[in-house]
Structure 1
Amino acid sequence: MTPAQPTPRTLLPLTPVGGAARRHGSRSFATCHYRCGSACDMPVPNTTGNGHVQDEIAKVVGRRRVLQGAALVGAAGAFGGLVASPVAAAEGGGAAAARAAAAARTTQDLGTTPFRPVAPNTVDAVRTAPGFTHDVVIRWGDAVLRGAPKFDARNQSPAAAERQFGYNCDYVGLIPTTGDKALLVVNHEYTNEELMFPADTYTDDEIKLISMRNHGMSVVTVKRGLVPGSWRQVKNLRRAPQNRRIHIETAFALTGPAAGDDRLKTSADPSGRRVFGTLNNCAGSTTPWGTVLSGEENFNQYFDGVPDPSLATEYARYGIAGGEGRGWSGVDPRFGLGNEPNEPHRFGWVVEVDPTDPTSTPMKHTMLGRFKHEGADVVIARSGQAVAYMGDDERGDYLYKFVSSGTFTPGTGRRAKRANMRLLTEGTLYVARLTGDGTGDGEYDGTGAWIPLCTDTESFVEGMTVAEVLVFTRLAADAVGPTRMDRPEDVEHNPVNGKVYAALTNNTQRGTRFPVDEANPVSGNRNGYVLELTPARGNHAVARFTWNLLLVCGDPASAETYFGGFPKDDVSPISCPDNVTFDDRGNLWVSTDGNALGSNDGIFRVPVEGPERGKVQQFLTVPRGSEACGPLIADGNRSLFFAVQHPGEDDGSTFETPFSTWPHTNDFPRPSVCVAFQAR
């Protein structure tokens, strides 16, 4: 039999669909193409008129410009334990425990150590604040499981990829195990075949099969290094029995009310309860019971062919257009819309994985709704109920919350974990409506309500069953009038002050397709916001909250920017917030994606309380063409874990002629997870 011959790689066109050459913020067309299927070039899925916050926004914006005008002078100078116990996420004792742990430390504290901010730059390296350094912990292709071959970009295979660290790492979690070891849990969001494969080396089918297996998640055993705050991978895989690779062939169990529904059944799975693989996993979180949640985001781009006309409305609301897609149906028919019209309904969920048990079956929780999940973050309310906050990363889509029916079982044993892993299968799913105060007080703020969509037994959306609400959550939310937001991405609770923070990355159609309002105040929003929510009475389980914009991002010299009231001549410029996390002092840490101000992306520290509230300081920048992902403060505030995703991804960048070679161990780029710590 004559072996298949390698086929020439075809570079993607550098002009968006239906328009002249332009950039989407600072993102390259390559990133837009591979990350989300060029969603910004497609019709906006949300065609409703929902969510215009009624207020006196013209007065608010006008007054802010007057009040802050004096602060613009000198703004140009601004350019010059492991992790907290998951149980500490419970209200009440969590904040006290975090403060006590923080008070016990005197040195090497990322929450309190002063640093000189990193200046904006475009260098092909990670730059940390003076006095700090970083190590690369693990790279694309490094061995995760025993039997993995040494990585060779010119000799990749599907079998090897299933045992190696996947591509484009995003979320980073750390689960303590024994002694000085922990489990590093990482998402692998998407692949860029132009940077992964040498030209004329692989067939099209080989490229697809290898790429499919580079999606998913990795669980990797790591160990403290010799320098406080440093970490390294345990390379002797015999001593890493909990390591795991989750990929396109990994079986997942669907849970909750929609499991088994006809809309989730396929010819390969007539039960509608078993799905292979997880796709486009973006952010995530560690639950109070020690598992990891991961959000399936831009899943729509993986399906090709001709859409079923009977599902036209449902497909359109999720951006499922068919066409060529990634061409995966050529090697796996289930990704062809004509073959399996229900297969797209089996993606877009929140995934739960138990990293400590490599034999466990991961789950997709239908009770948390189906949309483009950035992630899900769980806090235990005073009532003991588990509350999960979520964002739908699309222009004009919504913020969501889930409140469990059951209550949290304290403890770290198997029985408690099993009980707690059922919490996300029964409860109530809500969507957010924000109202501006309209007072013209110079602040962007107001009140809000969580509107119920369904419980596990009852739908609150007329004409839709519980299963329909959960499988087509966007359509259900459209019917109850929530607020259309500017790409709600990561939504996380602060374990110290009990508030919730949401990264709203950008929306250049704000002011045209979407009216400007007090919650989304910048026309042509290219730089994004950070939204601060305060649950009524400090109770995450209740349906009311107040809100304000902590940050209106951008160039401090621009009139519309706002930094929590902190003087604008003493902050770092920040653009396109994506992921958020907290140290155990309660400081907010923000990573960015798509910096529209001409600098590489980075990670920033922002106090949220006291006289320095809103003081944005850039702690590090990532290499050329990359995005800063998965920030995680760990090891008693001594370590900052972060992922460098898609280094060198830019228009025209290829394996042979990359725009970056970071981390400079090869002549091509390798997405990697790093840890930053105080230098010695």
Structure 2
Amino acid sequence: MTCLFRCGNACAHPAPNSSENEYFGDMLQAEVSRRGIVRAAAVGALVIGAGSAVAGAAPAYATGRPSPAPAPGGGKGALTFKPIPPNRLDALIVPNGYDWSVVAKWGDPILPGAPEFDIDSQSVRAQEGQFGYNNDWLVVLPLDRQRNRALLVVNHEYTNEILMFRDYVDGAPTRDQVRIALAAHGLSVVELERQGSTGEWAVIDRGRRPYNRRITGTTPMRFTGPAAGSSLLRTAADRKGTTVLGCLNNCAGGITPWGTVLSGEENFNQYFVGGDGVPADDKPALARYGISTTTRYPSGSRRWETAEERFDLAKHPHEANRFGWVVEVDPYDPKSTPRKHTALGRFKHEGATSVVAPDSRVALYMGDDERFDYMYKFVTEKKLRRGNSRSDREHNMSLLESGTLFVAKLAFSSASEIDGSGRLPADGAFNGTGRWIPLARGGQSLVDGMSIDEVLVHTRLAADRVGATKMDRPEDIEPNPRTGKIYVALTNNTNRGGTNPADEANPRNANKHGHILEITEDGGNHAGETFTWTLPIVCGDPNDPSTYFAGYDKSKVSPISCPDNLDFDAHGNLWISTDGNALTDHTGATFNDGLFAVPLEGPERGHVKQFLSVPIGAEQASAYVLDDNRSVVVSVQHPGEITGATVDNPASTWPDGDFARPGVAIAWRLDGREIGA
């Protein structure tokens, strides 16, 4: 059921990437050094100057993440919680000494006048004022210097109408059901407040909440950058190619140093029909993005064209080109217009996360979540201004409109030793070097035979031409604010092998558990074009010889499968959310997804510990460790999403005991000290 509604059964179809890329063979030699620069803290949506690292810690790198606040208890960063065991309980489970509560769930009213949720009395108007469906990536942004008020910003990735409506008929939705589903997509912005002096936070349910906002599948947005106005973006409804209605399938995201959020559109292809009726010249690009060009109604079609004609490509062949972008939203200005930045390229975006380079340009890292697709980087043309003036703010808000778009090409240190078994090479590590290959710079194409519009709208085709390295589903990519290293969640790829054999960066055939990639930019320069890489974690059952945990004693490691979203705490520990756990118990039943933490430096490097598990059928879609390190907010997506489940026959009753509702929860330590540490 999850495969059907989230991505249109992508894994049941051939991978869209059929290119035969050659791997980058030059073994680059570079001595890697780190250059620390202070982190810019976003409060009230303004860069307010230098934040400082926690006492005794390594230099902090300037990322979009606000500076950490001093945490009570003086934690040293060690992960001291006792890991929870894998389980199949229909509950959210945390370690002893911790508690949790629900912050917001599907249908909760967040705008003035929105009604309380009633599954039997849903309407478009109600959903437009209520918390959306299937929350994914989330972040908590400060509203005051005391850190007692904050904004929760949440993506709503997709809808599952079977679990939303009692009377849904698969393949034959009513007009209202389609329009309600569109309203349940997008983002929610919700104001929170701390509960006393604890690590618990809750939605403010009294008085005026001026920041609260719903962005949906019909919210007006505008295009920026070199491809704005392109003929490839023009439709009957928008003959200038500069505006678009809504965002779809928003998955991961990121924060900018100037206080906005970036939200990535991922599996947008599933919403469209009629690919067989588009002009012949449009078909190769549509097919490369997973849209069928041989049949009008692909398997699992949502049939949204019955309510909005724009989803019929036979009538509006360029409408699909208007999705698959990074969307920038200013959460501090509920009247602002979201922007889709064409300079960042179009693919199945997981998100975009930022680091400020030594020369004050901003680098964004992005993954394309598809089997055998690529990792990307964008470096702004203009430099970040660190002041607080209106002109500084306006300048920074334009940074993502121009720059250089790159795709990654990897080289391997032990290529001849990789046989697909996951066995370590003789040098004791999966590692190598790499280069960021430029696709576009300064509004000009750098790919032979492709215009700038084609490079940015059909970015996958451009990356194919330069021979980018095929990866095992690059999902979230996150910079470590302590070291500046970049971490990539490679979720899985059971199709690895055969005509796409294992390589050192994707070392297992039939890779069903995924792995973590670590990138170190040469010279600590995130605006540069060369890097080194290694695989610190190869996921799975620690008893499986194909797994690897940075050399740590595997008898002490929690089993982990299918890493998806990543986050860091104030000490530089990596927190990993999983999606699609492929580990099973003695009966063959799969364990629930969860949240895991692992140190990346020192003697505990590689010691993965499970902190939390989500209810049956759910994905632990995202986590955000609050900046005082006392709480972690988690996104519990699609609880009970198991084939055969319905509203009246639920596979999960989380969180209220009746039927399943996706929601956001928060976990905190009862003694008020830092989580984990």
What is the TM-score normalised by the length of structure 1?
Answer: 0.88
What's the CA shift string for 1:425-446, capped at 9, x where partnerless?
1110000011111173021000
Q: 1:536 to 1:89 in 2, by over 3 A?
A: farther
Distance across 2 between alignment mates of 1:521 and 1:55 = 20
Distance across 2 between alignment mates of 1:213 and 1:51 = 43
The residue aligned with 2:518 is: 532
- Name the amino acid aligned to 2:349: H
Deviation at 1:305, TM superposition (A): 2.0
Distance across 1 between alignment mates of 2:267 and 2:124 = 23
What's the CA shift string for 1:554-601, capped at 9, x where partnerless?
000011100011111110000000000101100000000000002100
> Does residue 151 of structure 1 match 2:117?
yes
Task: Specify which of 183, 187, 192 is matched with residue 155 of structure 2.
Answer: 187
The residue aligned with 1:454 is: 440
Q: 1:509 to 1:93 in 2, by over 3 A?
A: farther
**Contact 1:556-1:571 within 8 A present in 2 as well:** yes
Task: Specify which of 132, 144, 151 is matched with residue 98 of structure 2.
Answer: 132
In the TM superposition, 1:90-109 aligns within 5 A as: 96=53, 104-107=70-73
Deviation at 1:411, TM superposition (A): 3.0
**Contact 1:99-1:585 within 8 A present in 2 as well:** no
**Contact 1:53-1:517 within 8 A present in 2 as well:** no
Distance across 1 between alignment mates of 2:173 and 2:10 = 28
- Name the amino acid aligned to 1:652: G
Distance across 2 between alignment mates of 1:656 and 1:461 = 54
Task: Specify which of 299, 303, 323 is matched with residue 297 of structure 2.
Answer: 323
Distance across 2 between alignment mates of 1:102 and 1:175 = 12
Deviation at 1:416, TM superposition (A): 2.3
> Does residue 259 of structure 1 match 2:228?
yes
Task: Specify which of 224, 227, 239 is matched with residue 208 of structure 2.
Answer: 239
Distance across 1 between alignment mates of 2:559 and 2:571 = 23
Deviation at 1:175, TM superposition (A): 1.4
**Contact 1:34-1:192 within 8 A present in 2 as well:** yes
Larger proportion of helix: 1
Partner secondary structure for residue 375 of structure 1:
coil
The residue aligned with 1:278 is: 247
Deviation at 1:106, TM superposition (A): 4.6
Deviation at 1:112, TM superposition (A): 3.6
Distance across 1 between alignment mates of 2:543 and 2:52 = 36
The residue aligned with 2:495 is: 509
Distance across 2 between alignment mates of 1:114 and 1:89 = 35
**Contact 2:46-2:393 within 8 A present in 1 as well:** no
Partner secondary structure for residue 253 of structure 2:
strand
What's the CA shift string for 1:490-532, capped at 9, x where partnerless?
0010000110000000000111242111000011100000000
> Does residue 85 of structure 1 match 2:55?
no
Deviation at 1:412, TM superposition (A): 4.1
Greater mean deviation of Cα atoms: 403-412 or 577-586 = 403-412
> Does residue 430 of structure 1 match 2:375?
no
Distance across 2 between alignment mates of 1:230 and 1:290 = 23
Partner secondary structure for residue 326 of structure 1:
coil
Partner secondary structure for residue 444 of structure 2:
coil
In the TM superposition, 1:43-442 aligns within 5 A as: 43-50=14-21, 52=23, 85-86=41-42, 96=53, 104-107=70-73, 111-112=77-78, 114-178=80-144, 179=146, 180-199=148-167, 204-236=174-206, 238-307=207-276, 308=278, 309-321=280-292, 322-323=296-297, 325-438=301-414, 440-442=426-428
Deviation at 1:104, TM superposition (A): 4.5
Distance across 2 between alignment mates of 1:286 and 1:615 = 28
Partner secondary structure for residue 156 of structure 1:
coil
> Does residue 676 of structure 1 match 2:667?
yes
Distance across 1 between alignment mates of 2:552 and 2:475 = 24
Q: 1:461 to 1:349 in 2, by over 3 A?
A: same
**Contact 1:369-1:470 within 8 A present in 2 as well:** yes
Distance across 1 between alignment mates of 2:265 and 2:510 = 27
The residue aligned with 1:38 is: 9
- Name the amino acid aligned to 1:214: A
Distance across 2 between alignment mates of 1:184 and 1:352 = 16
The residue aligned with 1:469 is: 455
Q: 1:674 to 1:462 in 2, by over 3 A?
A: same
**Contact 2:70-2:628 within 8 A present in 1 as well:** no
What's the CA shift string for 1:122-168, capped at 9, x where partnerless?
00000001111111000100011001011000000011110000000
- Name the amino acid aligned to 1:380: V
The residue aligned with 2:605 is: 613
- Name the amino acid aligned to 2:396: N
Partner secondary structure for residue 673 of structure 1:
strand
Q: 1:177 to 1:414 in 2, by over 3 A?
A: farther
- Name the amino acid aligned to 2:297: G
Q: 1:162 to 1:443 in 2, by over 3 A?
A: same
Deviation at 1:111, TM superposition (A): 4.2
Distance across 1 between alignment mates of 2:225 and 2:126 = 34
In the TM superposition, 1:438-587 aligns within 5 A as: 438=414, 440-587=426-573
Deviating 4+ runs (over 6 angstroms): 53-56, 87-90, 92-95, 100-103, 200-203
Partner secondary structure for residue 127 of structure 1:
coil
Identity %: 52
Distance across 2 between alignment mates of 1:280 and 1:455 = 28
Distance across 2 between alignment mates of 1:386 and 1:89 = 16
- Name the amino acid aligned to 1:411: G
**Contact 2:40-2:51 within 8 A present in 1 as well:** no
Deviation at 1:415, TM superposition (A): 3.0
Deviation at 1:229, TM superposition (A): 1.1
In the TM superposition, 1:1-20 aligns within 5 A as: none
Deviation at 1:48, TM superposition (A): 0.8
Q: 1:95 to 1:429 in 2, by over 3 A?
A: farther
What's the CA shift string for 1:33-91, capped at 9, x where partnerless?
000000011121100122557799xxxxxxxxxxxxxxxxxxxxxxxxxx99359999x
> Does residue 662 of structure 1 match 2:619?
no
Partner secondary structure for residue 482 of structure 1:
coil
Deviation at 1:227, TM superposition (A): 5.0
Distance across 2 between alignment mates of 1:49 and 1:502 = 23
Q: Quote the RMSD (CA, aligned, Å).
A: 2.3
Q: 1:150 to 1:609 in 2, by over 3 A?
A: same
- Name the amino acid aligned to 1:316: A
**Contact 2:487-2:518 within 8 A present in 1 as well:** yes
Greater mean deviation of Cα atoms: 268-277 or 44-53 = 44-53
Partner secondary structure for residue 545 of structure 1:
strand
Distance across 2 between alignment mates of 1:661 and 1:109 = 37
Alignment length, in residue pairs?
622
What's the CA shift string for 1:221-243, capped at 9, x where partnerless?
0000125211000112x421110
Distance across 2 between alignment mates of 1:194 and 1:53 = 46
What is the TM-score normalised by the length of structure 2?
Answer: 0.89
What's the CA shift string for 1:181-211, capped at 9, x where partnerless?
1110000000011111113799622211111
Distance across 2 between alignment mates of 1:200 and 1:464 = 44
Deviation at 1:310, TM superposition (A): 2.6
The residue aligned with 1:602 is: 594
Deviation at 1:339, TM superposition (A): 1.3
Distance across 1 between alignment mates of 2:467 and 2:42 = 34
Partner secondary structure for residue 362 of structure 2:
strand
Deviation at 1:420, TM superposition (A): 0.8
The residue aligned with 1:3 is: none
Partner secondary structure for residue 311 of structure 1:
helix
